[in-house]
Amino acid sequence: IARALVNNPSLLLADEPTGALDSKTGEDVMALFEELHGQGLTLVVVTHDMEVARQAERIITLKDGLIIDDVTNGSKLELAQREQLSISVASNGNGTSSERVAAADMAAEGEE
């Protein structure tokens, strides 16, 4: 991390930055990232750890190389806490895009 920051980049890419760390050191790394972000640094973090992902302002979920979810605000971050999200959309049939969506049923996999 120190080597990546030495030239004061505007963007930092981190692939599983806490993966091989104990929990205390992982928390320290995430606190550093939060501080750097507060100073204007953009961070892109790749992780399988939802505890790490929940700290992000934006979470993009990939499956088989495709984006399956893009969450950008606090209320939607609650949805990102689930391992998998299913969204169903119903149409009222009149064909206009602004009126087509009648309902969205969001449930974690296995919930009704």
3-state secondary structure (DSSP) of residue 79: helix
Q: Which CATH class is domain 2-81?
A: alpha beta
Residue that is written with structure tokens 């606090």 in the block? 74
Q: How far apart are CA 89 and CA 100, in angstroms?
A: 9
CA distance 5 to 10: 9
Measured between alpha carbons, how far is 70 from 94 in angstroms, rounded to an integer?
28
- 34's CB contacts (< 8 A; 6+ apart) are 55
**91-102, pLDDT tens digit by residue?**
444 443 333 333
6 Cβ neighbours under 8 A, 6+ residues apart? none
**Of residues 99 and 29, more confidently modeled:** 29
pTM over 0.85: no
Report pLDDT for 50.
83
Say if residues 31 and 19 touch (Cβ distance below 8 Å).
Answer: no
pLDDT at 27 over 50: yes
State the average pLDDT over residues 101-112: 35
Residue 108 has pLDDT above 60, yes or no: no
- Tell me: the pLDDT tens digits for 37-91? 999 999 999 988 888 888 888 888 888 888 888 877 555 555 555 554 444 444 4
Question: Which residues in the chain are classed under CATH 3.40.50.300?
Answer: 2-81
Q: For residue 4, name the pLDDT band (cuts at 50, 70, 90).
A: very high
